[in-house]
Amino acid sequence: MKLFVQAGLLFIGAVLFSCTDSAIVTEAKIDTPETNWTQTTKMDFPFEITDVSASYKLFYQIRYNNDYPYYNLWVNRILLDENGNMISKKLQGMDLFHASTGEPYGAGFGNFFDYKILSDSMQRFPKAGKYTIRLEQTMRKDTLSGIGSVGVEIIKNIQ
């Protein structure tokens, strides 16, 4: 019986250990005050790159509700080096709701929906070090209601 318990604990430990993903560089989110994202609110996500030979996937993680007035969201994604110098700037649009049916994308719980959107699948970084991804909403309306949080996930591509 003791051997059975030890084997069971070893199995559970192996399963838990295998579920951790060492390829995740960072996963972070920032909540918006009162589910409002203003154009002056810049979302900064610091992270560190150690392997410049690898490419990385960049994802946006948007939490929103039915109060969001549009079907899409446009953001500037700015990549900054450790000194705050801009390396790149990219305007990107993403659909949060189906344009004709109005159905929300992502997984829902209550009135909120969580949606993970691929930004880039082969992002490379020029050197090892600390970086920041800054997201700015660029919609025509200064204050966007219905955005609960904005996040970034960076995953190292494993060959």
Query: Is it the case that residue 15 has pLDDT exceeding 90?
Result: no
* Span 25-156 CATH architecture: Sandwich (2.60)
Amino acid, single-letter form, for residue 68: Y
Q: Name the one residue in this structure whose structure tokens are 């446009």.
A: 74
The pLDDT mean for the chain works out to 89
pLDDT computed for residue 109 by the predictor: 79
What is the distance between the alpha carbons of residues 133 and 82, in angstroms, rounded to a whole number? 11
Domain ranges across the chain: 25-156
> Which pair of tokens denotes residue 140?
């025509």
Cβ atoms 93, 74 nearer than 8 A: yes
What's this model's pTM, rounded to 2 decimal places? 0.83
Q: Which of 114, 127, 137, 123 is nearest to 57 (CA)?
A: 123
User: Among candidates 57, 53, 54, which has minimal Cα distance to 24?
Assistant: 57
Between strands 112-123 and 107-109, the pairing is antiparallel
Report the pLDDT value the prediction gives residue 120, as an integer from 0 to 100.
94
Q: pLDDT tens, 22-76?
A: 699 999 999 999 999 999 999 999 999 999 999 999 999 999 999 999 999 999 9
- Half-sphere exposure in the Cβ direction for 87 (13 Å, CA): 16
- Edge to edge, the sheet with strand 129-137 lists 43-49, 129-137, 72-80, 86-95
For residues 65 and 81, give the distance between their C-alpha atoms in angstroms, rounded to a whole number. 33
